[in-house]
Amino acid sequence: MSIDVIKSIKQAEAEAEEVIKKSTEDSRQILSDASNQSKSLLEESLEAAEKEAKVILLQAEKQANAEIEKYNKEVFSECEAIKSKAGKKLDRAVEIIIGRVVRPDGSS
């Protein structure tokens, strides 16, 4: 073999090693970038999910408060109706008691 062929083979081998080294470095960088992007996307997704959860909770709280207010008004109305009926019955009960305690002739 001639020396030129051997030099050519060695140069080709050196170039091949450089290509392999560069490819390895590039693939590591690509993997690192992909990992960073996936972490970033995951963080963004979590933040978006947390924001959406807060919005949903606020809406549910507003709806619950509206329902509570509605039921409070209904209960208040029912209480007022019961008080009114009780007041009417109380007046009648007083009349009955007075009628039984005090005799028609005015004596006790």
Sketch the domain layout of the chain as residue ranges: 1-108
> What is the pTM for the complete model shown?
0.53
In tens digits, what is the pLDDT along the chain, a chain of 108 residues?
688 888 889 999 999 999 999 999 999 999 999 999 999 999 999 999 999 999 999 999 999 999 999 999 999 999 999 988 888 888 787 778 887 776 666 555
Whole-angstrom Cα distance, residue 35 to residue 27?
A: 12
Structure-block tokens of residue 87: 């007041």
| Distance in angstroms (rounded) separating the CA atoms of residues 40 and 54 | 21
Residue/partner pairs of 14-17 with CB below 8 Å, 24 or more apart: none
φ, ψ dihedrals at 2, nearest 5°: -90, 160
Q: Which residues of 12-28 are buried (b: 16+ CB within 10 A; e: fewer)?
A: eeeeeeeeeeeeeeeee
